[in-house]
Structure 1
Amino acid sequence: MAEINLDPIGVLAVIVLGLALVGYITFLMRFYWASLALTALAVAYLSTKMPIDAKTIPYWVASALTVAVALTITSILRSRQTGPKPISKNSTPTPTKRRIVIDGTNVMYWDGETAQLDTLRSVVDYLKQRDITPIVFLDASSRHHLKDKSLTEKGFSLALGLPQKQVMVCPAGTEADVFILKFAKQEELKILSNDRFGDRSNLAKDIKIVKGVITAGRPILDGL
């Protein structure tokens, strides 16, 4: 069997070149554009000192292949680092909250013969605890039902613990039913009310009405 004679200088040269390639790839991984800029400057400088000719072309070809291999390996490694990450269970988007329209003036009478703001507030709190966004409509006469003429839209929103944009007091001389039904139909929402809306059956068509009662101080809703 023929003996393999390894030239120590040749072996050392291969090891040094291998380490240099690893170092170049590492530098590319950390400082990609800076590495390319320094490589371009080095090529420009060496081309003035060692012009390409028949004698130097093997070195230039070997250098070009080395840089190409380094860039290819770097590109593969970078794509693995920046590729799409697996979706974790905790990264699922939060679903949009459900919304429901409340016939506020009607609900205020659920717990007795007189209007009570606390009754409406208990229903609002019940819905909020279940991650349902209430949108409350009130007759302009609601403040008279409550015997508190100072109540404004802002006052109602503060009393109910809702943003003012979720509380609508209808204009005086109008019926809240029309606004409630039109808004619910436009937004495709359910309505919370014990009103049958019989005189507005054309508007109430295809709208789901959720009814409720107050039992032992707690709302019980049917159809939610």
Structure 2
Amino acid sequence: MSSNLLKALLSRIASVFKQSESKPKPAPKALPFAGRHFVLDGTNIALLHGPARPELRYVVAIADYLGNNGAKISCFFDANTPYLFSNSRSEQRVCFDRLTTESNWAQHFVIVPSGTQADQWILALAKRKSADVISNDRFKDRAKAHRWIWKRRHGMSIVEGRLTLSTLDASIALLAQPEDYLPFLRTLPTSAENAEQAV
């Protein structure tokens, strides 16, 4: 190969690289819930099928979905919630204990003090943070004092095996066990005031 041909080939390769470097990179995809805060009614979500069949994976599936889409998460459980999981599958209680005690999750998943219900904590933090609430509870006994809840509450249901939050256009595939979500929950976005500080 002649030196002129080699120089031309190298020149052509260099110009291709220069062109690819000068092209603008696409902007990162905006996360649909970036900048929003959601307060989860953990006990209500877990009891979607009633107290005989609590499902902690519903709580962690919603937290994982919202967190992966840029939202900040706070979740409150009624004081009696640990007993609900004690009477159910043992892996649920183990996972619940990890969520509410290990430092990387305990700032997001909190059991309210004995003698109180999570509702007052949920509504107080949601009002203070202008956050949305995930719950099937309509908060009728507190709705007059919290009229904003009618527009910022999102209920859920199971549709064809998926957890659905229709007001958020969310259809969430469910993993088999609640602990399957734990590796994904390690990077939940935090806020200046987390659930743990609110109690």
The alignment's TM-score, normalised by the length of structure 1, stands at: 0.51
> How is 1:134-213 mapped onto 2 (pairs within 5 angstroms)?
134-147=73-86, 155-157=98-100, 163-207=105-149, 208-213=152-157
Cα distance in 2 for partners of 1:153, 1:203 equals: 32
Superimposed CA distance per residue, residues 31-77 of structure 1 (whole angstroms, 9 cap, x where no aligned partner):
xxxxxxxxxxxxxxxxxxxxxxxxxxxxxxxxxxxxxxxxxxxxxxx
Cα distance in 2 for partners of 1:210, 1:98 equals: 14
Query: Max radius of gyration: which structure?
Result: 1
> How is 1:28-107 mapped onto 2 (pairs within 5 angstroms)?
97-107=35-45
Structure 2 stretches lacking a partner, 5+ long: 1-24, 169-199
Pairwise CA distance, 1:216:
3.5
Aligned CA-pair RMSD: 3.6
Q: 1:105 to 1:210 in 2, by over 3 A?
A: same
Superimposed CA distance per residue, residues 14-35 of structure 1 (whole angstroms, 9 cap, x where no aligned partner):
xxxxxxxxxxxxxxxxxxxxxx
The alignment's TM-score, normalised by the length of structure 2, stands at: 0.57
Return 175-184 or 107-116, whichever deviates more: 107-116
Amino acid of the residue matched to residue 206 of structure 1? W
Cα distance in 2 for partners of 1:107, 1:143 equals: 14
Cα distance in 2 for partners of 1:147, 1:153 equals: 10
Cα distance in 2 for partners of 1:182, 1:118 equals: 25
Cα distance in 2 for partners of 1:217, 1:124 equals: 18
Cα distance in 2 for partners of 1:117, 1:152 equals: 8
SS of 1:201 mapped into structure 2: coil
Pairwise CA distance, 1:202:
3.0
Amino acid of the residue matched to residue 135 of structure 2? S
Cα distance in 1 for partners of 2:113, 2:101 equals: 19
Cα distance in 2 for partners of 1:126, 1:111 equals: 20
Return 112-121 or 183-192, whichever deviates more: 112-121
Q: 1:171 to 1:109 in 2, by over 3 A?
A: same
* Cross-structure match for 1:69: none
Q: How many residues align?
A: 137
Query: Is the Cα–Cα contact under 8 Å of residues 34 and 69 in structure 2 kept in the other structure?
Result: no
With a CA cutoff of 8 Å and minimum separation of 6, indicate the structure with the bigger relative contact order.
2
Identity %: 27
SS of 2:163 mapped into structure 1: strand
Query: Is the Cα–Cα contact under 8 Å of residues 82 and 96 in structure 2 kept in the other structure?
Result: no
> How is 1:116-127 mapped onto 2 (pairs within 5 angstroms)?
116-127=55-66
Pairwise CA distance, 1:96:
5.0
SS of 2:116 mapped into structure 1: coil
Structure 1 stretches lacking a partner, 5+ long: 1-87
Going by fraction, where is helix more abundant, 1 or 2? 1
Cα distance in 2 for partners of 1:120, 1:195 equals: 15
